[in-house]
Amino acid sequence: MCGIIGVIQEKGEVAPFIHQALRRLEYRGYDSVGITTLDTSRLFTKKDKGKIDEVHQMLNLDDLPGSIGIGHTRWATHGIPSMYNSHPHFDCNDEIAVVHNGVIDNFLELREDLIKKGHTFKSETDTEILPHLIEDFMNDGRSLKEALKMTTSLIEGTYAVVVMSTREPDKMVATRDGNPLVIGRQDKTSYVSSDIPAFLPVTNNMILLLDGELATLTIDGIDIEKLHNGQKVARETIKISWTADQAQKGGFPHFMLKEIHEQPDAIKGTLRLRPEIIEGAAKLISNADNLFFLAMGTSGHAAVAGKHMFASLGGVLPIVELASDFQDSVYDVITENDLVLAITQSGETTDTIMAAKYAKRLGARIVAVTNVVGSSITRLADHTIITQAGPEIGVAATKTFMVQLTSLAQLALALGELTAHQDPEIIAIKRSALEKMPKIVSRVIATEEEHARHYARLYYASPSMLFLGRGISIATACEGALKLKEIAYNHAEGYSAGESKHGPIALVQDNYPVIFVAPNDETRTRLIGNIMEMKARGASIVSVLEEGDGEIQSLSDSVFSIPRGVEPEFSVMPYIVPLQLFSYYMATLKGYDPDKPRNLAKSVTVL
Ligand code: F6R
């Protein structure tokens, strides 16, 4: 949440680059935007509430002088979206500018102290205490770097901050604790940002800044040191395989649609992961007493699907928990023989990180499934699987969900081999079915996109819908409902079809849409019973069914068809695709931007 960027270059104006970098970071928050540059010993700022394009239209964000600057795109926590609450924030004399991602828990008391000392505040944010604290320390004769160090010793919470000052105009300093920062370097220019897409057009080499480290950026290079003792840190550069093109819309009207279309390639890339990566994780899992799957949101739905895959193929039954509630549910009943599989595409979700840290403190081992190299979860984990979706810019997760499912399927197969729960021949059949998934998903996109567009027009005015499934398809139903509510703002509930009779059926009346996820697996006959129950109460039935399933088709008002022969353990992968497309077309039909749903941000770094 919140995207930050700092750039220092030898010559030329830096604002246009920062403006474009912020557009590439906008998935992290879009309540407000701001850029401050430094030129001839003065700071120049443009900032306001609204999305970047709106603010740019009003203010022209490119028109700022200077070759050093910082920028911020905000997901509001403390204070409403407004010009005053927009970052950057400043000290009393407008000499120190700060951008911050995170939350300072003890800001109120620090703010009161600062006010008593005569500082004046312009915003309601927690961030604004930072430039004022730095100002005090600099007034005591400390350098910008030392002042930032002293400031971090006073604050509690999570932060990634970038600071620059007219008093030391040849540098910027950055530090973090709990929120990400990556550094880039190319041709006498240094970059620091929340995420690599910000500077991907110039370099795909990145240097990670870790918690408790401070970086000083100049045109000549980057120095990293430990905050607590000043010890220099030599950090290797990591080359990532993402390209700048992957972070462009590439002719699609929205990132979300592009990312839905990229799913076959994302699965292919993930299936090509080195076998030892999957086998290593499977070994750790097979040795564990208890296995916990921890995740949030869409990743949580992947976890639910993964549970079915692990049980059916590997003979291992994981305990699926919402990471946010893990600590409050397990009462320390975890040992060093247990294992947590943390599923988080961003690798930065605070709920998941905190839960994994908690489990680690109790001795459990951690395996991570994430899409982001070097993300926080990778540093906690004993073993990491990096999924190969490439950058996902749309806030609603689509292709990262698909690759999580792919990795969980690979893991379940490897586990099956280890535990011999399934006949090797069965495992071989399932493995070859998984290999065919890119083609199947491709075909679903090709045949069902038009249906999705059409059904969006049909159901566009329905304020509420139920998504129902049984067994593994509960994951598909819940994910379909989540997509619809997050981007089209429809009330939608994903539910077990079995459970639907125990309450939600009360919602159903004439023409109330109920979407059934109906693969041809062992739940089908019972699901037909649920379809009949809903039909008898006047529901309009939309089914995602197997091609040629005449029986369910005859009970349905609308259908999405999925090719025959999908293995039940992998059914979520093709069956979710029409529901992703349906949500996309519902959102666009209503005039909403599916890439930037209201109140959401891609990486949720608050508890
Ligand atoms: C939904 C969505 C969120 C995330 C959730 C976890 O489309 O994107 O529900 O799935 O915030 O995020 P990660 O996977 O980054 O931990």
pLDDT digits 0-9 by tens, 554-603: 999 999 999 999 999 999 999 999 999 999 999 999 999 999 999 888 77
Name the residue ranges covered by the structural domains of the chain: 3-245, 249-435, 448-595
Nearest Cα neighbor of 165 from 177, 153, 174 is 174
Closest atom of ligand 1 relative to the 370 alpha carbon = 14
CA-nearest residue for atom 11, ligand 1, is 297
Examine the pLDDT at 606 and tell me if it is beyond 80: no
Residues near 489 by beta carbon (within 8 Å), at least 6 away in sequence: 590, 592, 597, 598
Could you tell me the distance, in angstroms and rounded to a whole number, from the CA of residue 273 to the centre of ligand 1? 23
Do residues 351 and 606 lie in contact, with contact meaning Cβ atoms separated by under 8 Å? no
491 phi/psi in degrees, rounded to 5: -70, 125
* Residue to probe by mutation, ligand 1, list 301, 346, 385, most atoms within 8 Å of CB: 346
CA 267 / ligand 1 centre spacing (Å): 18
Q: Give residue 603's pLDDT.
A: 78
CA of 589 relative to ligand 1 center, distance in Å: 24
Mean pLDDT value of segment 89-97: 98
The per-residue pLDDT for range 34-81, each reduced to its tens digit, is 999 999 899 999 999 999 999 999 999 999 999 999 999 998 888 899
Q: Which pLDDT score, from 0 to 100, does residue 309 have?
A: 98
Residue 128: other Cβ atoms inside 10 A: 28
Q: What is the pLDDT of residue 270?
A: 98
Is a pLDDT exceeding 90 seen at residue 453?
yes
Closest CA to 96 of 166, 197, 160: 166
pLDDT exceeds 80 at position 420: yes
Q: What is the dihedral of CA 189, 194, 195, 199, to 10 degrees?
A: -20
Residue 298 CA, closest ligand 1 atom number? 10
Task: Kindly report, residue by residue over 510-519, the tens digit of the pLDDT.
Answer: 999 999 999 9
DSSP for 170-190 reads: T-EEEEEEBS-EEEEEETTEE
Cβ(151)–Cβ(165) under 8 Å? no
Flag whether pLDDT at 253 surpasses 90: yes
- Please tell me the distance from the alpha carbon of residue 296 to that of residue 288, in angstroms, as a whole number: 22
User: Distance from the CA of 52 to the center of ligand 1, in angstroms?
Assistant: 23
Domain 448-595 has CATH 3.40.50.720: no
Lookup: tokens for 8: 């220092």
* Ligand 1 site-directed mutation target among 296, 370, 373, 584, most atoms within 8 Å of CB: 296
**Under CATH, what is the fold of the domain 249-435?**
Rossmann fold (3.40.50)
Q: Which residue lies with its CA nearest to atom 15 of ligand 1?
A: 346
Mean pLDDT of 520-547: 97
Q: What is the mean pLDDT of residues 325-353?
A: 96
- Which fold would CATH assign to domain 3-245? Glutamine Phosphoribosylpyrophosphate, subunit 1, domain 1 (3.60.20)
- Residue 88: asked if its preceding bond is cis (omega within 30°), the reply is yes
269 CA → ligand 1 middle, Å: 21
Q: What would the two tokens of residue 491 be?
A: 């009330």
Calculate the average pLDDT of the chain.
96
Q: What is the mean pLDDT of residues 325-338?
A: 96
Q: Could you tell me the two tokens for 173?
A: 């300093």
590 is catalytic: no
Alpha-carbon distance of 31 to 101, in angstroms, equals 13
Q: Are strands 513-518 and 222-226 parallel, antiparallel or unpaired?
A: unpaired
**469-525 pLDDT, tens digit each:** 999 999 999 999 999 999 999 999 999 999 999 999 999 999 999 999 999 999 999
Q: Is 478 a catalytic residue?
A: no
**Band (271; pLDDT cuts 50, 70, 90):** very high
Q: Which atom of ligand 1 is nearest to the CA of 395?
A: 8
**Residue 469 CA to ligand 1 centre (angstroms):** 21
Nearest-angstrom CA–CA distance, 399 and 345: 10
Residues with CB under 6 Å of ligand 1 are 296-299, 344-346, 349, 352, 396-397, 482, 486, 603-604
Going by their DSSP bridges, the two strands 291-295 and 558-562 should be labelled as: unpaired
Q: Give residue 599's pLDDT.
A: 85
With residues binned 3-state (H G I as helix, E B as strand, rest as coil), the percentages for the chain, rounded to 5, are: 40, 25, 35
Instruction: For residues 368 and 45, give the distance between their C-alpha atoms in angstroms, rounded to a whole number.
Output: 40
Question: Is the backbone of residue 584 left (phi > 0), alpha (psi -120 to 50) or beta?
Answer: alpha
Give pLDDT tens digits for 337-346.
999 999 999 9
Nearest ligand 1 atom to the CA of 602 is: 8
Residue 419: exposure state from Cβ atoms within 10 A (0-12, 13-18, ≥19): middle
The pLDDT tens digits of the residues spanning 106-149 come to 999 999 999 999 999 999 999 999 999 999 999 999 999 999 99
H/E stretch holding 295 reads strand 291-295
CB 301 within 8 A of CB 401: yes
CA–CA distance, 304 with 313 (Å, rounded to integer): 14
Kind plus residue range of the DSSP H or E element containing 481: helix 473-488
Per the listing, tokens 């045949």 go with 447
Taking 90 as the threshold, does the pLDDT of residue 248 lie above it?
no
Same fold, 249-435 and 448-595: yes
Give nearest CA residue, ligand 1 atom 7.
Answer: 396
Residue of 124, 54, 139, 40 lying closest to 89 (CA atoms)? 124
Reply yes or no on whether the pLDDT at 12 is more than 80. Answer: yes
The catalytically annotated residue of 46, 149, 268, 602 is 602
Q: Looking at the predicted structure, is the pLDDT value of residue 549 above 80?
A: yes
Q: How confident is the model at residue 258 (pLDDT cuts 50, 70, 90)?
A: very high
Q: Whose CA is nearest to atom 4 of ligand 1?
A: 297
Q: Return the bridge partners of 305, or none.
A: none
Q: What pLDDT, in 10s, does the model give residues 355-374?
A: 999 999 999 999 999 999 98
Which residue among 2, 145, 258, 430 is the active-site one?
Answer: 2
Between the CA of 396 and the centroid of ligand 1 the distance, in Å, is: 8
Give dist(CA 191, CA 183) in Å, integer.
5
Ligand 1 pocket test, pick from 299, 378, 402 with the greatest ligand atom count within 8 Å of Cβ, gives 299
